[in-house]
Each structure stands twice: as C-alpha cells, then as structure tokens.
Structure 1
C-alpha cells in the first residue's frame, strides 16, 4: 500500500521545471528533499516550499560525482532517514550541433543527463528495495524519441528513457517502479524566444507545458492509482511528438 506522506528526493531542484514539481509534491503532503549543485539555490527552493507551509530540506549534489552522490546518501539518512521516491530532474540542454562539440562537451551532457540518474538510482536503490516500496521517476524528453537538433541532448534523453525500461528486471517483484516523464516545450527560462514563437505552429494544443503539469504527473505516479504503471515513458507535450519534424527549423 502506498504511504500517504513520502520523502521525495528531487535532483536539480532549483531549476525552473522543478519549482512546479516541488510545489505539487508539497501540496500533496510530501516532504521534498531539494538537491542541487548550488546549495544556496537548493536552500531557496526549500524556503519557497516551507513559506507555503510545506516540508522541505536542502542538500548539495553534483550528479557527475560518485563521491557527491554517496555523501548525499549519508546526509539524507542522517537528517531525514530513508526516501520513498527519487525524481531525477537534474539536466542540461547543450545547444550544440555536431561541429560545435569540442573539449568533452558531448561527454559532459551525457554525464549529467544519463550517468547522473544512473548514479543516483544505484546509490538509493538498496533502501527502496529493502522497504519493499518505492518510486523512481526520470525526467526525460520527447527529444529522446524524435531526435533533436542538438545530438548530446537527444542521445542522453534517449538513453535515459531506455535505462528506465531496462531497470525493470533489477526491480522485478520488489515493489519499486521506474518510469520516465517526457515533456515537450516547458515554460522555463531555458526556453529561448524562438522556440516559444514556434509553439502555435508545432504544438497541436498551441500551449506550452507548465512546470506544475509535470509536477501533477509525478504526484500521480506516487499514488496508489499508479501502482501498475511501470517502465513507461509518459509524454506531456500537447501532441508535439505526433507532428514533430526534425528538419523543420
């Protein structure tokens, strides 16, 4: 049976999308563990939740570092205890075409967007399995399905969605489910004006996705009603994937 109040660890918690995710989680009565590369930003994200009478704790995290992930695991255990859900939302959109990549920039995007969630899942999986209940939610993207102009982003998100499907074997019969949420264009500061201007032409609903909608989907995945949703890529894109053209710039 799903616990009514969860400790939910969110990586990249200070980002624009995560502000909507954090708010919806807190509104549902969950404690949000805000982990971010910038500790001050993580504190600000936690403060925003507590100011609205929610429960939150800030943590510093570099998802590209095994040491940082292990340190976070110890800090969470000491200050909060076990988590019941992990939301892997830390990521970057590297706006580079093939010829623009140099100096390990492609590898850096893969390390943050794909290896980072893998590190987090590997570290926190034992406690989720031991509890006999848990939720892992990876923030992927429709770019992982359709391809995208920026190969590092598309490749990393395709890998993340496939990692989600592949982990089902590891969590078979444990009570832990693993899913991906795949947004289209989300209303954050990362979205350049050129993309915003294309929404009416490229998105059948003619609407940009709001961060709170992503939070609502995640909150649903934590509920008892979602207990048999497992290994899924849940798309929130206004229908963009159905009409997407990679070469229509």
Structure 2
C-alpha cells in the first residue's frame, strides 16, 4: 500500500474529525493545517492519540505568502506532499441583501481561492513525482443552489475548479475529485436544518463525519486511480429530491 503525506486544510473543523481519522487509519501521514495553531495541534494530537502519524501547521490559505511558507515548513519537517484534501470552508448565513461585496468575497476567498492557492503551491511537487491525489470538499449546495448565495457560488466554483484542473494534470499521475456532502453532523449545522432531515433526505439520517472520511480515504487509494474529475455526492439522496424551500413556500 502506498503511504501518502496528506495535507488537510481546515483540519481542526468538525467534519475533519472523520477525515483525519480515516486517512490515518489507512496508514497515511496526516498534515493538519488550520488558521488557528491550537486547533491544528489538537487535530494532530487526536490522530496521534489513536495511533496515527500527524503533524500540525498553522496557515491562512487565503494568503499566498502563508501558503508558500506552509510548503517550505512541510518540506523541512515532513517532505513532499502526495495528497491534498481541501476541507477549509466557511458558511455565512446571509441572503443577497444582507451581503456586501466584502463579505461575499470573504466567503469565496476561503472556500474557493484558498483551495486554488494550495493546489497551485503544491502542484509542482506532485508533477515532479508523477503522482498525486487531490480531493476538494465541496457541497451539494454547489449543485442545487442554496439560500445563502456566497456559499453556493463558492462551492459551485470549487466543483468546477476540480473538473477544470484535469487539463493541467493530464498525464501526470495526479487525480482531482470533489466530494459533495449534504447535511453532516458538525457544530456548523443548526437545529432547524437537523429537524428537516427526515423529510428531505431519503435515508432519513444525517451524514456522519466518518462517512466523509471513508470516501476521501478511498479516493486517495490505488483502487480509485481511475476516478478523476468526479463530483461525488454523499448526501443520503437529498440532491435527487432537493427543494429549495419547504412545500408551503413553493
């Protein structure tokens, strides 16, 4: 089995509990990156506590100089990165008239420009090695639309960035895919959304972070080497029957 140095952005977040754990269980080294150094270290410590191998790094993925410094630190401490999981993200619960250009750009900066900056900075190392795995954590909101336009637009952009990068990585041994969660059991999900799950998700249940982690770990494996440019829904079937509003509002 190939062992990968796997960089995970937003590693201190709730969804990454499952992603970090499943990647470590697959035998990979987990490089936990977060804006908050304490959250990054806590995430790495949790992986090490379960017997895995992990390192912590602090970086703002929206800043090109931070991402460049991150690469230098990773090379010095661990070595080249073979896999990237772009999981850093933010949801700003603002509808159109609540947003201004600055708040809208902030969401796109974290959810879309950040993944672009990380991939661009680390791409050459993967190209030189003729191998790489990139997984972008998008959302079903990028496919269905969502009441909060900055989030939906950023995730739609991230999914399309995934597909567009196939041209850049043609013949390099690098695959690029997106996973698109529905409602996941994290602190970000408000109770009102949780209450709607039985009526809007055919499986009738919320998605667990470990399920996201299992899918990401699979995409890093040799068994997934022919999966490339895919936007994989992991939503209990919600996308298939999605309604933007409750029936009484239609």
Category of TM-score, reference length = shorter chain: over 0.9
Pairing 1:203-218 to 2, within 5 Å after superposition: 203-218=201-216
Distance 2:37 2:180 in 1: 27
Superposition RMSD in Å: 0.9
Distance 1:52 1:213 in 2: 18
Distance 2:225 2:50 in 1: 29
Q: Residue 240 of structure 1: which of 196, 220, 238 is its match?
A: 238
TM-score, structure 2 normalization: 0.97
SS in 1 for 2:31: strand
Please state how far the C-alpha of 1:5 moved relative to its aligned partner. Answer: 1.2
TM-score, structure 1 normalization: 0.98
Pairing 1:1-249 to 2, within 5 Å after superposition: 4-102=2-100, 104-248=102-246
Consecutive unaligned residues in structure 1, runs of 5 or more: none
Distance 1:203 1:140 in 2: 18
SS in 2 for 1:179: strand
Distance 1:113 1:229 in 2: 23
Please state how far the C-alpha of 1:216 moved relative to its aligned partner. Answer: 0.3
Please state how far the C-alpha of 1:103 moved relative to its aligned partner. Answer: 5.8
Distance 1:6 1:44 in 2: 21
Please state how far the C-alpha of 1:4 moved relative to its aligned partner. Answer: 2.0
Distance 1:144 1:102 in 2: 20
- Per-residue deviation, residues 128-165 of structure 1 (Å, max 9, x unmatched): 11101100000000000000000000000000000000
- Per-residue deviation, residues 11-34 of structure 1 (Å, max 9, x unmatched): 000000001100001111111000
SS in 2 for 1:168: helix
Please state how far the C-alpha of 1:246 moved relative to its aligned partner. Answer: 1.2
Consecutive unaligned residues in structure 2, runs of 5 or more: none
- Per-residue deviation, residues 90-122 of structure 1 (Å, max 9, x unmatched): 000110000111261000000000000000010
Distance 1:38 1:116 in 2: 15
Total equivalences in the alignment: 247
Distance 1:124 1:90 in 2: 16
